[in-house]
Amino acid sequence: MKKLATTKRKFLKNFSKAFALSFIAFAFQACYGTPRDMYDDVHIYGTVTSTATNAPIKGIRVSIVSDNISDITDDNGRFSIYAYEIMQSYAIRFEDSDFGKDGAFMQKDTVVQRDTLNYSREIPLNVSLNAKPIHRISF
């Protein structure tokens, strides 16, 4: 009898949860505009500098390799990307998008692993890039 009551209580609890969740989905789905954004994201941001001079580099394309997301560093070398939260790690590529304008830099790939104990949604990432070797040719 006690087992039956527990089962019944569990069923009602689960039913209430399911009902509550479906209500949220219905109540907030706007009819004008877009569907509601139900996912969470992670903010990866930082500054790209030159290894040699420590100066910020403008025009570096920063991409999440697996998800077709990218940003280009601004005048202060800063980038900011909101990435899909479901991923545990992010392969990030830094590549010179304006080759030669303020020096040419080597591409760099890195992997950001999320801390499984502290699921922070803010991930700072500062990166320095090496300049490409310059071969001087005398005419």
Partner 1 sequence: MPFDDFLKAILPLKNVYPKDSITVVITGGEPLLRSDIPECGKALRRNGFRWGIVTNGYAYNEDTHARLLSAGMGALTLSLDGLEDTHNWLRANPHSFAHAITALDLITSSKRLNYDVVTCVHRKNINELPAVKEFLISKNVKAWRLFTIAPIGRAKDNADLQLTPQELKQLMDFIVQARTDKRMKTTFSCEAYVGKYETKVRDSYFFCRAGINIGSILIDGAISACPNIPRKFAQGNIYKDDFIDVWNNGFALMRNRTWTKTDICADCKYYKNCLGGAMHLWNENRNEMLHCINRALAEVVGL
The number of angstroms, rounded, from the C-alpha of 3 to the middle of its chain's C-alpha atoms is: 47
Q: How far apart are the C-alpha atoms of 64 and 109, rounded to whole Å? A: 10
Q: Which is nearer to partner 1, 19 or 26 (CB)?
A: 26
For the record, the structure tokens of 16 come out as 């209430």
| Backbone conformation region of residue 25, classed left if phi is above 0, alpha if psi is from -120 to 50, else beta | alpha
Using CB under 8 A, count the residues that bind partner 1: 30
Shortest distance, position 13 Cβ to partner 1, whole Å? 24
Which one-letter DSSP state was computed for residue 122? E
Q: Any contact of residue 67 with partner 1 (CB under 8 A)?
A: yes
Paired residues of 109 in beta bridges: 93
CB nearer to partner 1: give 7 or 80: 80
Work out whether 81 is an interface residue with partner 1 (CB under 8 A). yes
- Cβ 26 to partner 1, closest distance in Å? 4
Cα 80 to the chain's mean position, in Å? 8
DSSP alpha helices (H): ranges in 28-64?
A: none
Rg (CA), the chain: 24
Q: Is 56 in the site for partner 1 (CB under 8 A)?
A: no
Q: How far is the CB of 69 from partner 1 (least distance, A)?
A: 5
Is 38 near partner 1 (CB under 8 A)?
yes
Q: Which of the residues 4 through 33 are near partner 1 (CB under 8 A)?
A: 26-33
**Given the rule CB under 8 A, which residues bind partner 1?**
26-41, 43, 63-64, 67-71, 80-84, 86
